[in-house]
C-alpha cells in the first residue's frame, strides 16, 4: 500500500513577546518599543500544524445556534461580602461567585496583608478559603496572621502548579481562592515560571476552574516600573475585575480599572497600621485634617476621583521671582490647565503675574486631572496674590473657560452633597446646581467669595 502524501507541514515563524507588557515582535529586540524595558523579549514558538484540506467555500461547517436577546433570562450574580466595606465598594458589592479579580501594586504596598484580612473575614463567616502561597513560606504567612490577629480557618498550600490548584478547587469547592502571586504559577510544558506563556495559560486555567466551581478567585500580580501588571496584556482581558493598590501620602488607594460586575473607577481609601489596612470611612475629613485656617492661598475643592466625590485642599503661593523668567510649579494637577487658568486671571481680572513665581499644589499627594478643579485653582492663586484668605465655610468647584466663564462639570450633585455633609454651607459653583445661586464667571466668583467674607 502506498502512503498518501498529506502535503508539507506548515512552517510557523517564531514569535517574541515582551515579558513586561506583552508586545509582540517577529525578532528579539534589545529594548521594547512599547514599555521601554531592556532585554525583556522571550521566544514563544507555536507548534507546527499541517494545513487542512479545503472543503467548500466555508469548509462545510454549519452555523451555531442563535438566541434572541429578549429570550435571555436575567440573573443576579451571587456575591460574598469581603468583610471590608471599602473593598466591597470597589468591587461593586462584594466578591462574585466564580469571578476572578486581579490585584496589582508595588512590592510591600499591602496586597498580601489586605488579602489575608479578607481571607480571615470570609473564613469567620463560614466560607472555606484556599490560600496559594507562591512567594512566602507557610511560616511567614503564620507570622503575618498573628500580627493581624487572624483567627479564621484558612487552608494553605505551597503547590503553585496550575493543574494542582485547579484540582484543589474542584475537590474542596472553596468560597474564596487567593493566589499570591500569578507570576509564580506554573503550567506543565510551558517554560520557566513568570514567562509570558506561563502567566497567560495559568490565568486561563485558574479562571476556567473558578467558573466551573463557583469560587471567587483573587490573583495577585506583579507590576512593572510604569505601574502596569507584568505579563501579557491578554491576562487583564481574561479576568473579570482588575484593581490597583497605590500609595498616596499616608494612605493606600484601591482603584478599579475594570469590572464586569460593577462600575469601574470606584475608589477605596485605606490607612496602613500595625493591625493591617484599615478603611478610611471619611476620606474628605482625612485629606483636610491638616488644612490651615485663615491662610491666603488655601481653597477647599469638591472633586471626583473615579466615581467617588471627595473634598481636597488646593494650595497656591505667589512670590516675587529673582529670575528673568517667572517659574510655574504644579504638583498633583494638570500643569497645562493651570497655565490656562493663570492666563485667564491675567487677561480677565487684570491680575499681574508676570514677575511672580506661582506654585500650585493639591495637598495630600493625590494626582487628580479633574477640570472641575479649575475654579479652585483660580481662587487660590487670586487669594495668594492679593493676600486675603477665603472664608472657612466655602467650598468650590467648576471648570474655567478661556473667556473667563465658569462651566458645569461632571457629578455636580454628588460634589455638592459631599461638601454639604462636610459642613461647608456656602458653595461657589457653576449655574444649575440646585439650591445654590451659581456664578457665571471667575470675576463673579471672586466678588461672591469676598462679599460673603464682608470685605
Which residues are known binding-site members for ATP? 105-112
Report whether the peptide linkage leading into residue 311 is cis, meaning its omega lies within 30 degrees of zero. no
Q: For residue 308, what are the CA distances in angstroms to 89, 268, 363, 414?
A: 10, 9, 17, 8
Of the candidates 185, 128, 132, 192, the one whose C-alpha atom is nearest the C-alpha of residue 162 is: 185
- Quickly count: other Cβ atoms within 10 Å of residue 357's Cβ: 17
- Quickly count: other Cβ atoms within 10 Å of residue 161's Cβ: 14
Alpha-carbon gap, residue 315 to 363, rounded angstroms: 7
DSSP β-ladder status, 251-259 and 241-248:
antiparallel
Would you give the end-to-end CA distance of the chain in angstroms? 108
| Sign of the four-CA dihedral 203, 206, 211, 217 | negative
Alpha-carbon gap, residue 350 to 120, rounded angstroms: 61
410 and 432 in contact (C-beta within 8 Å)? no
Alpha-carbon gap, residue 375 to 439, rounded angstroms: 10
Which parts are annotated binding residues?
Answer: 105-112
Amino acid at each position: 500500500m502506498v502512503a498518501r502524501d498529506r502535503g508539507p507541514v506548515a512552517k510557523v515563524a517564531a514569535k517574541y513577546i515582551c515579558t513586561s507588557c506583552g508586545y509582540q515582535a517577529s525578532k528579539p529586540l534589545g529594548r521594547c518599543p512599547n514599555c521601554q524595558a531592556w532585554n525583556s523579549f522571550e521566544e514563544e514558538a507555536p507548534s507546527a500544524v499541517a494545513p487542512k484540506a479545503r472543503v467548500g467555500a466555508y469548509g462545510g461547517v454549519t452555523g451555531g445556534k442563535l438566541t434572541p436577546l429578549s429570550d435571555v433570562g436575567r440573573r443576579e450574580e451571587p456575591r460574598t461580602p469581603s468583610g471590608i466595606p471599602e473593598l466591597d465598594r470597589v468591587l461593586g458589592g462584594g466578591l462574585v461567585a466564580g469571578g476572578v479579580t486581579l490585584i496589582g501594586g508595588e512590592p510591600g504596598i499591602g496586597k498580601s496583608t489586605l488579602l489575608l484580612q479578607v481571607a480571615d473575614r470570609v473564613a469567620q463567616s463560614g466560607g472555606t478559603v484556599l490560600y496559594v502561597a507562591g512567594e512566602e513560606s507557610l511560616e511567614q504567612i503564620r507570622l503575618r496572621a498573628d500580627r493581624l490577629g487572624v483567627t479564621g480557618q484558612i487552608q494553605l498550600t505551597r503547590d503553585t502548579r496550575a493543574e494542582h490548584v485547579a484540582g484543589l478547587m474542584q475537590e474542596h469547592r472553596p468560597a474564596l481562592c487567593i493566589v499570591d502571586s500569578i507570576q509564580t504559577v506554573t503550567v506543565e510544558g510551558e517554560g520557566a515560571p513568570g514567562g509570558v506563556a506561563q502567566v497567560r495559560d495559568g490565568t486561563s486555567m485558574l479562571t476556567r476552574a473558578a467558573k466551573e466551581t463557583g469560587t471567587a478567585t483573587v490573583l495577585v500580580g506583579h507590576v512593572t516600573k510604569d505601574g502596569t501588571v507584568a505579563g501579557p496584556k491578554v491576562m487583564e482581558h481574561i479576568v473579570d475585575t482588575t484593581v490597583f493598590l497605590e500609595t498616596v501620602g499616608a494612605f493606600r488607594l484601591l482603584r478599579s480599572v475594570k469590572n464586569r460586575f460593577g462600575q469601574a473607577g470606584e475608589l477605596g481609601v485605606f490607612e496602613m497600621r500595625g493591625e493591617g489596612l484599615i478603611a478610611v470611612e471619611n476620606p474628605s475629613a482625612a485629606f483636610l485634617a491638616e488644612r490651615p485656617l485663615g491662610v491666603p492661598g488655601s481653597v477647599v475643592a469638591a472633586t471626583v476621583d473615579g466615581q467617588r466625590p471627595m473634598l481636597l485642599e488646593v494650595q497656591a503661593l505667589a512670590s516675587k521671582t529673582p529670575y528673568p523668567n517667572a517659574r510655574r510649579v504644579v504638583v498633583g494637577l494638570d500643569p497645562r490647565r493651570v497655565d490656562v487658568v493663570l492666563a485667564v486671571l491675567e487677561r480677565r481680572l487684570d491680575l499681574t503675574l508676570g514677575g511672580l513665581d506661582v506654585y500650585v499644589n493639591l495637598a495630600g499627594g493625590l494626582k487628580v486631572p479633574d477640570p472641575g478643579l479649575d475654579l479652585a485653582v483660580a481662587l487660590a492663586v487670586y487669594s495668594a496674590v492679593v493676600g486675603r484668605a477665603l472664608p472657612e465655610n466655602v467650598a468650590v468647584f467648576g471648570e474655567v473657560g478661556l473667556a473667563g466663564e465658569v462651566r458645569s462639570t461632571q457629578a455636580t450633585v454628588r460634589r455638592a452633597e459631599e461638601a454639604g455633609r462636610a459642613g461647608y454651607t456656602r458653595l461657589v459653583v457653576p449655574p444649575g446646581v440646585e439650591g445654590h445661586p451659581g456664578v457665571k464667571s471667575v470675576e463673579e466668583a471672586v466678588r461672591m467669595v469676598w462679599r460673603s467674607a464682608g470685605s
